[in-house]
Chains A and B, each alone.
Chain A
């Protein structure tokens, strides 16, 4: 073949000679003439000084390469031009080099130094291109040079060069697999890269070099999930496929109970093959039910909770179903098919159906996958049944695949429409397609008992079709169907017996003969007659027909020897002299077996048993059955055979591996895994409760128990996440490690310095006392990263413990400065019973100091309202710290639940992306403001300068405290600042302009109502009292400030901690600990109707917000919100309702 194509080349080449399209090429006449003397002038041109001549020569050489001509003898002449100034010449030389370097290794070395020089070029694009060519030259000697270049490029400043380095890795690996370990190091490094440019390429390198090192992914998993949408299309495909494999090893099967059922079904089908089909279905159901109960039992034992990381993957891949790239859509589809809970897989159907309108090759691949999916999840594609209808213009291979899908989708309800379609198809011109349709009808008939007779009748009608192929195919299918219930259809067998006169297709004749032989007892009169006719034509039959004639003769001889003895002997005699040795052998064998002679062995006794044994009906099943053990969308799946390099999709693990491996460590922080730390925390509890025992023995029991449940549920929410949206996984882990940190922080203060260094605190007011400032910054910066209330409380605790004395000292100095703030703070807790009013006034001094130290009424500060009663400041603070320590863990850690909102997309912002979240931390400069943490990421290539806020357009009363100007934000860097906004307790958006040195962007921040409040601490009794007061104060009008809603909790959130978590996520409230009897330890059954209470106050006006959720059985619940501000109340109810029912 190659010779002939070479010949064609010649022809093609010569025909092109002198054609006008080569007009710009004066010497093109001989390009393809393979005249080797011609190469001399090419060499000459390459040696000349003129770039245009060089270019011309290179073009002709490349054209030669393109035609598959050998141009290797030009190597020395070409390689000289590697340093040519002309870009196009250079590029074409590269093309040549990459093609021939392998064959001319020594000469190729001449070019290396040029590339090595290029690697040092200040221009990133030149560096990248040098690396690209260098790594493409397959010369073993330069492996060390390549290795070095890759290593260097992997830490290059430019992400584009790093991407090129990632591309070079597989090249080097295929050149020298020995380098694997070194390369894995580079891959590990590049995997940590945060740019989208690199992600796709490095995962590709990972897949080629070390797909088994799944452990390298752990730390990058969340990042990859989050970057995915911005990665270029091809990278997305590779990443999604890899993550599918990863998820299969790291998470639990979301369909645990369902897969049990499936397994049951699979077994059933296997054993059920020899059962009669009618009973099949019932048995199936029974068995399924059994399995179901088993399954539910298992489920009860071990409730399945989806890992939040698993959810993250599903959530972040879903938008990609909208990609224009079929490969991306398919990758997401297979991910969902392999990883998603059954209920969610349906979303992919629509996208796959959309792909069917693409090019026919795409259709071909998609239909193969749909065929496999439709066996497992028929329901998914049922709504799109009509999209699989066949058009006469479809290519045959597409038609057959569509037919396959239609057959898989057929069930009792739609079978009539499908059969009507099939009827049209049978009339088609395309005979292969018609044959496939008849097969499909046969399969529908086997699968759906109701239509078996209809199908059979239809097929029998086809027997009178004019087209022989159609008839033959029908016969074969009818044969299979009849085997299932031969008794009822002797008339069909008779009808078919008549057909032997007309049908010439051997396979069909053979099938008819087999049928008659097999069921000769049902047609005792006709069978011998058929044999007679066949005996007549025996010599002219095809081999398969002859074999069946012998078969028929033998069977008849055994059942009806009287009539057929002579015929049989005649047939056997004919066969004895047949040309085909198979037939001769068969005849000899059968004669020995059935004709009793004195010599006949022991076997002849069993002849009847041998021939007339009941044969199992063939199972007509889809060729796509069980193909899903190959990863869908893969080449192996398409071919139904393992392709080289295929990575087996692992089965789900029995138990989930430790999810904490995905937590990303924060550099220079404690390396302790958060889990261990949490345990430690638990161990710490007794200490706190003990100490609390001094201050309030009655409460200690409550709070201690609360602590336990609180922290347990906290950790639970982090690990298993009960489906809550954790937007920033990084933050998640950060906060976790921070928690730990705080524990330590109590004892060691040196971390303070670190924190400060890490987060340049954008506070505008510089405080006089440096010692204080340090502490303050710790307070402020820490919570900003971390997200949970409890965290901040703890933080506060540690502070107050350690710094009481200093506070007292600094009191006076800073008094004046903070006077204003104090007042507002002081007047804040209106929740206080009126009788305490006086004392509060007195207390102001002490509060002042406190304010000074940290002017914001942070949750912990507001919390111990009751402590204001005590007169001595020291005891006050002591009490404060002690109670706080115990109380802090009572609130659930909504870590990672901080929702991030986009303020400025990186595209709109020209590379500057801005996100914000409500950090739920007190905003220190003004306690009446809501703290908004703003994170700037500069993904542009140049630095952004002087980021600041300008021109705020605010509703009346609203105020804004801008963050200090960020002078420079280098490319690729991220910085966070905090600004304060006083929303005046309304959800009106704050609009302002975000300015860089070049541009201004209009942005707006709109707070969810839940962020307009801050938590306060109350005991249960206080809560009740406040509730009452609130109800009475406003004219005793019920409903004025109490809103009650009934709701049904979603299944996932019926657990206590789930409720608490959701409420605290929706609104910045703190939990009111409830009676001790309720939640002390797991063994005690939960009370009939637990009430969860939450308290807080609005940031600006300090109005009390009280929320209680009463849960009843079956997920019924009642939500009550008390708040003076009706609007806030109503909106809050709406938000919490949504959080609880979603």
Chain B
């Protein structure tokens, strides 16, 4: 038997209310009705994110990703690595986001022609063709307000006039002939700390994931090297394809010809538990008494091991048990909000002042007669620490070769909470 149609056959975009608002076929047309299987699965799933990413149907397989409350449903006909499709769909979403700033239904509908042109270039016969944003931008210019206006007046196009030479070059991620008057290269070291803290305040698991996002606007074909003070910290790294792997292996130096514009140079992982300093602590006292329709709720936050930097943009959220009808809480600072329908409590704390620790105290009213909830809510914390990378990673120096000018270089550090949970 023959299965000629591998890879991605068609793509449907489905919004949260279950409408197909865009379809694209790379081979023969597949009827929309194939999505019925997807809608079935969608109905069965309790939460939007519980729709299985891979759904088999009698003649096709549906592989979908959910981003920005839009399902991107790819139709395939035969064996293909599911991650291949998933990764590609995410790349499509990233590209849309890159082009339109946001990836919403409205944005896609507004730019439907550009979307179509992009999809046409990204896949050929269902096989990825050009996924590098630098190449795509050469082919199809991202819409800007100015260009839209100009296009309307002059009737010019948003399709690149010159041919995409990037596809031919040995550095496919960088477009050629880049020119800037101000040559600058910015690197943001952003670390996210994922942790589970148990009831008693001890760390169950903690790890740091970092990324180095770059914004490089340099003329010509610069060759950059970035070295760290303490590269040994990096436990597990993954690179943008531009990074020379051998050089890293041998010298722990990042050597690369950067793509033009924004890109993620590197993501890394620091897992050694004792290396991970937990920057915040939570004192909590959440109790429900049997037989009483009242519950106590007390929460105090405090900084811990922040290396002298302040905790900012602190946001607490917690899913309270279903039995909780309402809350009557007093924040010492910031604002709090409780949604009686979703039972979601959120408290926007803001900055933590070490002299005056923020707290949230009060009572919860429970459903009368209902038994006491047997679980205590988990507290999710978000925060930011500016100008510091929690792992202590430091960039040593950045050098540029291959071009004559002197670029402006900047490096910024930031720590954020990733999935930071406190069990109570």
Spell out A's residues near B (CB within 8 Å).
1-2, 5, 8-9, 12, 16, 21-24, 50-52, 55, 59, 62-63, 65-68, 86-89, 91-92, 94-95, 99, 102, 123-126, 132, 135-136, 138, 158-160, 167-168, 170-171, 173-174, 177, 197, 201, 204, 207-208, 229, 232-234, 237, 241, 319, 322-327, 329-331, 350-351, 353-354, 357, 359-362, 364-366, 386-387, 389, 391-393, 395-397, 421, 424, 427-429, 432, 465-467, 633-636, 638-639, 641, 643-647, 902, 905-908, 910-911, 939-941
Contacts and interface: CB of A to CB of B under 8 A. Distances in A.
Nearest to B147: A24
Contacts of B305: none
A208 B77 CA distance: 12
A361 B65 contact: yes
Contacts of A171: 125
B107 to A, nearest CB: 9
A2 B32 contact: yes
A389 B6 contact: no
Contacts of A636: 79
Interface in B355-375: 371, 374-375
Given A123-B163, A389-B196, A322 B421 contact: no
A646 B2 CA distance: 11
A326 B86 contact: yes
B87 A644 contact: no
B132 to A, nearest CB: 8
B92 interface: no
Interface stretch (B42-50, B280-288, B331-339, B391-399): B42-50
Contact of A397 (B50, B113, B319): B50
24 contacts: A2-B31, A2-B33, A21-B109, A23-B152, A63-B113, A88-B157, A125-B164, A136-B125, A234-B84, A322-B238, A324-B239, A327-B81, A327-B87, A329-B238, A359-B65, A393-B421, A395-B47, A633-B81, A639-B61, A645-B6, A645-B78, A910-B221, A911-B170, A941-B168
A237 B148 contact: no
A1029 to B, nearest CB: 41
B112 interface: yes
A512 B62 CA distance: 41
Interface in B91-132: 106, 109-110, 112-113, 115-117, 120, 124-125, 127-129, 131
A170 B53 CA distance: 27
Interface in B121-165: 124-125, 127-129, 131, 148-149, 151-152, 155, 157-161, 163-165
Given A9-B21, A427-B374, A639-B54, 8 more contacts: A2-B32, A62-B112, A167-B127, A173-B4, A233-B241, A397-B52, A428-B375, A635-B79
Main secondary structure of the interface of A (DSSP, over half): helix
A241 B83 CA distance: 13
Instruction: Choose among B131, B152, B168, B321 the residue with the greatest number of A CB atoms under 10 Å from its CB.
Output: B168
A68 B23 contact: yes
A365 B125 contact: no
Given A2-B32, A16-B109, A644 B170 contact: no
B168 A465 contact: no
Given A241-B81, A359-B86, A365-B86, A354 B23 contact: no
A8 B87 CA distance: 30
B302 interface: no
A647 B151 CA distance: 50
Given A323-B239, A365-B83, A644 B78 contact: yes
B264 interface: yes
Given A62-B112, A87-B157, A386 B375 contact: no
Given A167-B125, A396-B46, A941-B169, A88 B20 contact: no
Contacts of B321: 429
Contacts of A387: 205, 207, 271
A465 B112 contact: no
For chain B, the bracket of interface size reads 35 or more
Contacts of A319: 245-246, 249
A5 B112 contact: no
Given A361-B53, A466-B374, A174 B5 contact: yes
Contacts of A67: 21-23
B416 to A, nearest CB: 14
B223 A908 contact: yes
Contacts of B109: 12, 16, 21
B156 to A, nearest CB: 9
Contacts of B179: none
Contacts of B84: 234, 237, 327
B56 interface: yes
Nearest to B243: A322
Interface in B170-209: 170-172, 194, 196, 198, 204-205, 207, 209
Contacts of A21: 106, 109-110
Nearest to B3: A645
Contacts of B28: 102, 138
A1100 B410 CA distance: 50
B82 interface: yes
Nearest to B151: A24
B238 A391 contact: no
Nearest to B198: A424
Nearest to B78: A645
B341 interface: no
Contact of B4 (A177, A324, A360, A364): A177
B384 interface: no
Contact of A645 (B19, B79, B128, B207): B79
B112 A392 contact: no
B236 interface: yes
Given A365-B83, A639-B54, A940 B375 contact: no
Contacts of A241: 81
B27 interface: yes
Interface of B: 1-7, 19-25, 27-29, 31-33, 35-36, 39, 46-47, 49-50, 52-54, 56, 61, 64-67, 76-84, 86-88, 90, 106, 109-110, 112-113, 115-117, 120, 124-125, 127-129, 131, 148-149, 151-152, 155, 157-161, 163-165, 167-172, 194, 196, 198, 204-205, 207, 209, 221, 223, 235-241, 244-246, 249, 257, 264, 267, 269, 271, 319, 321-322, 371, 374-376, 378, 380, 401-402, 419, 421, 423
Contacts of B245: 229, 319, 322
Contacts of A354: 236, 238, 269
Contact of A68 (B32, B106, B371): B32
A907 B375 contact: no
Contacts of B124: 132, 136, 167
A326 B113 contact: no
B332 to A, nearest CB: 26
Contact of A91 (B2, B67, B110, B159): B159
A24 B109 CA distance: 14
Contacts of B168: 124-125, 158-160, 197, 941
Contacts of B264: 324
A911 B257 CA distance: 13
A396 B47 contact: yes
B210 to A, nearest CB: 11
Nearest to B249: A319
B134 to A, nearest CB: 13
Contacts of B157: 55, 86-89
B375 to A, nearest CB: 4
Contact of B240 (A12, A132, A324, A391): A324
Nearest to B76: A635
Among all A-B residue pairs, the 5 with the closest Cβ atoms: A52-B155, A645-B3, A645-B78, A174-B4, A88-B157
Contact of A429 (B23, B171, B235, B375): B375
Contact of B127 (A1, A89, A201): A201
Contacts of A396: 46-47, 50
A134 to B, nearest CB: 12
A229 B240 CA distance: 13
A23 B24 CA distance: 24
